[in-house]
Amino acid sequence: MPRAPRVRLDQPRAPRTRLLPEYDPEAFGRFSERIARFLGTGRFLVWMTLTIILWVVWNVFAPAVLRWDEYPFIFLTLMLSLQASYAAPLILLAQNRQDDRNRVTYEQDRKQNERSIADTEYLTREIASLRMGLGEVATRDWIRSEFLDLVKEMEDRRSVFPSEPASESDEGDR
């Protein structure tokens, strides 16, 4: 019995052949958005209305040999149904892509808001710590009031203990 070839797990598999054609989903999505954008304009409505009016007028008033769609306008109904059957999924695809972009934008906005809140809280804590630190720092007004208190205290002591006369000196104590 012949052995099957050994499969190497350290290498990627060879690509398989596909029966369906491959396409770029982004290119198709951009194309569907352009179509959806055009379908939502007044220009499209005007062109569609003119086309239908010309279709009906031609098939009513043209010579019988040149008419391609008689009165019940079944071919016109088929064309409009075909257009609607393609327009609806393309519009939904465009809306889904827009929803995805909005979701990414909202997520980025949410993360930015979280960072802003964290920064604001950090700055708030820093300001509070600076205020607490400044409460312990000697300010000019506080130092001035301390000097004034000392001067007043010294004046009070002079009044209680008057200075000795100038004739007596302390040279002998030296």
pLDDT per residue of the chain (174 residues) written in tens, 0 to 9: 677 777 888 888 888 888 888 888 888 889 889 999 998 899 999 999 999 999 999 999 999 999 999 889 999 999 999 999 999 999 999 999 999 999 999 999 999 999 999 999 999 999 999 888 777 777 788 889 999 999 999 988 888 777 665 555 666 665
Per-residue confidence (pLDDT) for residue 127, from 0 to 100: 92
Record the pTM: 0.55
Which pLDDT score is estimated for 171?
63
In the prediction, which pLDDT does 156 show?
87
Tell me how crowded residue 29 is: count the other CB atoms within 10 A of its CB.
Answer: 16
Q: In terms of C-beta density within 10 A (0-12 exposed, 13-18 middle, 19 or more buried), how is residue 132 classed?
A: exposed
Q: What is the pLDDT of residue 167?
A: 58
pLDDT at position 134 is: 76
Residue 136 confidence (pLDDT)? 72
